[in-house]
Chain A
Amino acid sequence: MSDDHKHNNINISIINNQILIFEVDMICKLRESYGIIGVLSGTLSLAPQQQSLLGVPLQLSIYELLYLVDLGVCYLNVDVDVDVQGEEEFVNDLINNVKLKRIQRLKKLKNHGILQKNEELEDKDWVCNLNEHELFIETKNSTKQTNTKLLSMNDDIIQQLLSIKGHDFTMIRFQIYKDLKKKSWFIQPGLRYGGDFICYPNDPLRYHSQLIIKCCTWDDDDDDVNLIDLINFGRLGTSVKKSFVYGYVKHDGIVNYHTVEWSGFG
């Protein structure tokens, strides 16, 4: 596999039926190469008592995962081993830090005149002071995964994810997702606005979302749109300055849309 090709691969982890990405570089690559934003879902260690800003891992929706699997660029991390080299580095770091702390304590005691300039630190002085045993080690942002497996649509793990109730997967939504991606929209979950997806014309950091998409069937009686709901969506769209769009798939597989908005008179 050439280096170029490898550059576009996305490695994901599936933990507890959740699709997660822990590596920051991978998250950036995902955003830049594929226009997939995902949702950050980890507590930010710098500010743990709030929820508005979160950190790694990035969580992907089932549709985002399938999109990547469909393109053939999705690799699952299996048998995650901590790099042996990494472990050695970690232990060395610890030892170096202890040495440094010891030198610092010695210096401090000498400065305060408790120890004479030539004296050495006795073990009892060193061991008793627990506070000064705090050690700071830099941990890595990403681990070097050694085992990954290319995912395809027929894999058991994919089929299992599709049947999880929490993912609420329907093929129709996936087809509409793919069509929207083809039209260069950036897609995020739309639960907040009463829809299935919300769409941005470009990166969400630079633009407001413009569409709320609700996926429905072409002619399934149970799925028929209640006109009161249509009025609801039309009003919702107007109040948040977005277009409310019904997405559907015809029998021939073609995806089409109907946008609903208040006419402005009456």
Chain B
Amino acid sequence: MLSSEELAGKVYLNLVHYNLWCGVSVVRCGDEYIVKGCPPPATDSNNNTNSTSDDVEYIVPVLKTTKVSMKVLDSVFEAIEATEGLKPKKIILGIVDVDGTVVYYNVHDGIQKPRQS
């Protein structure tokens, strides 16, 4: 078990009030507390919102001192599939530090070519 209710609460707060996500809720997928929500729409230079971000993302809250194995990551994918009906292409690890900082890292299922930067 990676996450806990308290940790999920911290990530929830961070997503809603710091990263300004919408429609955020904490759901129980198997053993884990997963935070699901939609990122804010990306705005371009004219401040027009691109409505491309209607996709729901799944954030897994974890403490930075936790150790994860590939098996555990796979089980999270499967747990979300079982609860939500759809296997996500990627999950986001919300890694929580001892001072309350949360850093977010994507974990894609399979090989993902690098983004052009």
Counting chain B residues whose Cβ lies within 8 A of the other chain, the interface size class is: 35 or more
Most B CB contacts (10 A, CB to CB) among A183, A227, A238 go to A227
Segment from B27-35, B67-75, B80-88 that makes contact with A: B67-75
Q: Considering the chains assembled together, what is the distance between the CA atoms of A183 and B110 in angstroms?
A: 12
Against B, the Cβ 8 Å flags (1 = close, 0 = not) of A225-259 are 11110110010011001110110101000001111
Q: Considering the chains assembled together, what is the distance between the CA atoms of A234 and B103 in angstroms?
A: 11
Residues of B within 8 A of A (CB): 14, 18-19, 39, 62-74, 92-93, 95, 102-115, 117
B104 — nearest CB in chain A belongs to which residue? A263
With A227-B95, A243-B113 known to touch, is A218 a contact of B67 (CB < 8 Å)? Answer: no
Rank and list the top 9 A-B pairs by shortest CB-CB distance, nearest first: A224-B67, A263-B104, A259-B112, A219-B71, A259-B108, A248-B70, A243-B114, A266-B104, A257-B111
Interface residue from A223, A248, A262 paired with B105 (Cβ < 8 Å): A262
- Let me know if A225 and B112 touch, CB within 8 A: no
Interface residue from A227, A238, A256 paired with B64 (Cβ < 8 Å): A227
- CB contacts between A and B, total, < 8 Å: 104
Q: Considering the chains assembled together, what is the distance between the CA atoms of A213 and B108 in angstroms?
A: 14
- Let me know if B111 and A219 touch, CB within 8 A: no
Q: Considering the chains assembled together, what is the distance between the CA atoms of A90 and B58 in angstroms?
A: 72
- Let me know if A261 and B106 touch, CB within 8 A: yes
B77 — nearest CB in chain A belongs to which residue? A258
Q: Considering the chains assembled together, what is the distance between the CA atoms of A248 and B103 in angstroms?
A: 25
- Let me know if A225 and B114 touch, CB within 8 A: no
- Let me know if B69 and A266 touch, CB within 8 A: no
With A227-B95, A231-B95 known to touch, is A220 a contact of B111 (CB < 8 Å)? Answer: no
- Let me know if A226 and B19 touch, CB within 8 A: no
Interface residue from B18, B68, B117 paired with A227 (Cβ < 8 Å): B68
Most A CB contacts (10 A, CB to CB) among B64, B69, B102, B114 go to B114
A251 — nearest CB in chain B belongs to which residue? B71
- Let me know if B110 and A257 touch, CB within 8 A: yes
Pairs A–B under 8 Å by Cβ, sample size 9: A183-B111, A211-B114, A224-B67, A224-B69, A227-B67, A227-B68, A231-B95, A231-B105, A263-B105
With A227-B95, A257-B111 known to touch, is A263 a contact of B65 (CB < 8 Å)? Answer: no
